[in-house]
């Protein structure tokens, strides 16, 4: 091959690699159901509003039943759509958790920084979720961290008591927006992680113990 032929061939090689690069960077889209649980008044709806609409209001009314919102989070080369099910925290709606939680891919449990009882009740909400037959990844949000005065526990004390049970624990403020983006990004990452693990389980089939056909049988 002479020099002229080499010059003609080189651009073809580069174009192939460029195509592979574009393919590897191609965006993929996935959608997950995210359920938000916690006591009434901890700011579940406010967190969803902050993430989806960039808004905060002091005039929020208690959720009746459930409300729905959507947000899209970028995770690597994925557009992850989170379909947020914002549930009521009043005790009379607790029995409906089993219906709202069905098929949830990830769950955010919300407690209030200034209400230690709501943080203790995270275990109650988790139990209700498990009793509904659902076991999605759990993210914990301790909301209202903008209220410093009068807080009964410090973040370090909360971490010491709860981080072993809830390693994905975030301190957030729906009012200021602090930590909210990271909270929902973590929810998207966890849902995507579980999906990839499930996909791998479906493709990595162990054939070492596949039963052989009985002697004398015909395979057709």
Q: Which domain holds residue 125?
A: 28-199
Residue 171 lies in a domain: yes
Residue 10 lies in a domain: no
- With 80 as the cut, is the pLDDT of residue 71 above it? yes
Residue 97 lies in a domain: yes
Residue 117 lies in a domain: yes
Question: When comparing pLDDT for 124 and 219, which is higher?
Answer: 124
pLDDT band for position 77 (cuts 50, 70, 90)? very high
Residue 18 lies in a domain: no
- With 90 as the cut, is the pLDDT of residue 220 above it? no
pLDDT band for position 55 (cuts 50, 70, 90)? confident
pLDDT band for position 149 (cuts 50, 70, 90)? confident
Q: pTM of the prediction?
A: 0.78
pLDDT band for position 60 (cuts 50, 70, 90)? low
**Residue 98's pLDDT is what?**
81
**Count of structural domains, the chain:** 1
Residue 55 is part of a domain; what is its CATH number? 3.40.50.300
Q: Which of 101, 108, 105 is nearest to 130 (CA)?
A: 101
| Residue range 30-48, pLDDT digits in tens | 999 999 999 989 999 999 9
Residue 106 lies in a domain: yes
pLDDT band for position 145 (cuts 50, 70, 90)? very high
Residue 67 lies in a domain: yes
- With 90 as the cut, is the pLDDT of residue 59 above it? no
């Amino acid at each position: 091959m002479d020099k002229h032929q080499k010059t003609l061939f080189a651009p073809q090689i580069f174009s192939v690699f460029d195509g592979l690069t574009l393919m590897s960077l191609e965006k993929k889209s996935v959608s997950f159901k995210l359920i938000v649980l916690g006591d009434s008044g901890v700011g579940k709806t406010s967190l969803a509003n902050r993430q989806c609409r960039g808004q905060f209001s002091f005039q929020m009314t208690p959720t009746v039943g459930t409300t729905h919102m959507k947000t899209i989070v970028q995770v690597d080369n994925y557009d992850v759509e989170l379909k947020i099910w914002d549930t009521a925290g009043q005790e009379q709606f607790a029995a409906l958790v089993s219906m709202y939680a069905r098929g949830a891919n990830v769950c955010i449990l919300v407690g209030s920084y200034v209400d230690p009882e709501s943080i203790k009740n995270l275990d109650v909400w988790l139990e209700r979720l498990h009793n509904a037959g659902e076991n999605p990844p759990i993210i914990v949000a301790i909301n209202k961290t903008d209220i410093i005065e009068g807080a009964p526990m410090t973040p370090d004390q909360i971490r010491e008591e709860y981080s072993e049970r809830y390693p994905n624990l975030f301190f957030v403020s729906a009012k200021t927006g602090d930590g909210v983006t990271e909270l929902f990004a973590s929810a998207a990452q966890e849902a995507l992680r579980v999906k990839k693990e499930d996909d791998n389980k479906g493709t990595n089939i162990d054939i070492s113990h596949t039963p052989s056909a009985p002697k004398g049988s015909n395979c057709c």
